[in-house]
Amino acid sequence: MRIAELHPKPDWLLSVVADDGRVGSFDVTPYLECEAFDELRNPDEFMKVRNGGYFIEWECGADLSADTIDARWQVVDRAVSQTESNGEES
């Protein structure tokens, strides 16, 4: 999976859009027990997440791979591509 869009939300949730159009959320809370994620307990630091496509990372050095997110996220929808919304097949 490649991460097309990433948006941090309150309560240590990430809104994720995959390159294949799947939309879901990923809960970072279980990772906050790990030493590498200590700084992310501060909500302001958590919001400083950066999308690297095949990984996400924070300024403090904590990171997660897209494979980890793909294995543990909750898919809630599928984004409609511009082609699909125009009635064209892709």
pLDDT over 60 at 87, yes or no = no
| Amino acid, single-letter form, for residue 79 | A
- The per-residue pLDDT for 6 is 98
Torsion over CA of 50, 52, 66 and 81, rounded to 10 degrees?
100
Chosen CATH of 3-78 out of 1.10.3470, 3.30.2020, 3.40.50, 3.30.530: 3.30.2020
pTM of the full structure: 0.84
pLDDT (tens digit per residue) in 5-64: 999 999 999 999 999 999 999 999 999 999 999 999 999 999 999 999 999 999 999 999
- The per-residue pLDDT for 79 is 73
